Amino acid sequence: MASGIFAVLDDISVLMDDVATMTKIATKKTAGILGDDLAVNAEKATGFVANRELPILWAITKGSFLNKLIILPIAFLLSAFLPSAIVIILLIGGMYLAYEGAEKIYEFLFHRKPKDQNLEVKEVKEEDIAEFENKRIKSAVLTDFILSIEIIIIALGAVIDAPLLNQIIAVTIVAIIATIGVYGIVALIVRMDDYGYRLIDFNDEKDSISDKIGKALVFSLPWVIKSLSVVGTIALLLVSGGIFNHNIEYLHHFFPSIPSLLKDFLTGLVVGIIVMLILVPFKKIFNRKKATKH
């Protein structure tokens, strides 16, 4: 009896050790897209009244958990019964990520907003504020859904050769870590200025240590958001390029002398430009039809 219990415990120990190793590998594989997820959500969670930032972020976080509850079972069923679909989904998702990255670069280069715009200040109704918040939450949850698909599929692709139970445990852990980690860091980022103002008002002394730290936090918030946007764009292209280079045999052996990071970035950029050139005419037609209806 005792030997049976020890055998079970030994099996559990081996399973957990395997899961820990696979989780580490899967987390490394998804690190790039997690950087983009962080940048996107930090951008979407800013621009609200201070006391609304955390409730809105919590609503997005709940939506993110729901997204993963929907995606995980489907991903595991595909892995068990149709594993070839994983690569197809990866490539489709890679095209989307490449398009997003290329579009961000295009917008930055050719459609930058003038810094000195004269904005007319209008009285805003509570219903308009609520509608604006709901739209931003829905947009953030939709973006999270697409990024969550990529995170889960990439994580699953990293452990696809493992037994199904190990895949389920490892990928589920990665999904939970991704949600808690990303939105936890976003919460800290969007409240940086609030923490800064509290430190500035911490005492009546002028130019104290708390004042200096507080001013640094308030001053650095816009730069942190901008930096995350740049890092996120680079991450989009690196992740998408890596998906194509690792899953298409021809591209995998194409230009072997180029450093892998540069190759992934260039591949992602080229794919993104191609997808953007295909989609831009359709977007223009759609926008025209939308304008005529209104």
Q: pLDDT tens across 15-34, in order?
A: 455 556 656 555 666 666 66
Q: Which range among 87-96, 122-131, 213-222 shows the weakest confidence by mean pLDDT?
A: 122-131
How confident is the model at residue 119, as a pLDDT?
44
Query: Quick count: other Cβ atoms within 10 Å of Cβ 227?
Result: 12
pLDDT at 118: 47
Contact present, 85 and 78 (Cβ < 8 Å): yes
Higher-confidence residue: 276 or 43? 276
The structure tokens listed for 157 are 């692709």
Find the mean pLDDT for residues 236-252. 81
Nearest CA to 272 out of 225, 246, 233 is that of: 233
Q: Of residues 143 and 25, which shows the higher confidence score?
A: 143
Name which of 78, 44, 77 is nearest 63 in CA terms.
44
Q: For residue 270, what pLDDT is reported?
A: 93
Residue with tokens 């030994």: 10
According to DSSP, residue 254 is labeled: S
Percent of the chain with pLDDT over 70: 74
- Strongest mean pLDDT among 26-40, 119-133, 271-285: 271-285
The residue ranking higher by pLDDT, 162 or 173, is 173
Mean pLDDT of 29-53: 65
How many other CB atoms are there within 10 angstroms of residue 47's CB atom? 12
Segment holding 34, helix H or strand E: helix 2-44
Helix axes 84-110, 209-247, angle to 10 degrees: 130
Q: Would you state the pLDDT for residue 40? A: 66
- Residue spans per domain, the chain: 16-293
Average pLDDT of the chain, as a whole number: 76
pLDDT higher than threshold 80 for residue 236:
no
Q: Which residues contact 30 (CB under 8 A, 6 or more apart)?
A: 151, 154, 155, 174, 178
Residue 70 in tokens: 């929907």
CA distance 90 to 33: 13
Over 60: is that where the pLDDT of 115 sits?
no
Whole-number Å distance between alpha carbons of 232 and 80: 32
Nearest to 99 by CA among 274, 262, 266, 248: 274
- Given this model, what pLDDT does residue 103 score? 87
Find the radius of gyration of the CA atoms of the chain: 23
Asked if pLDDT for residue 81 goes beyond 80, the answer is yes
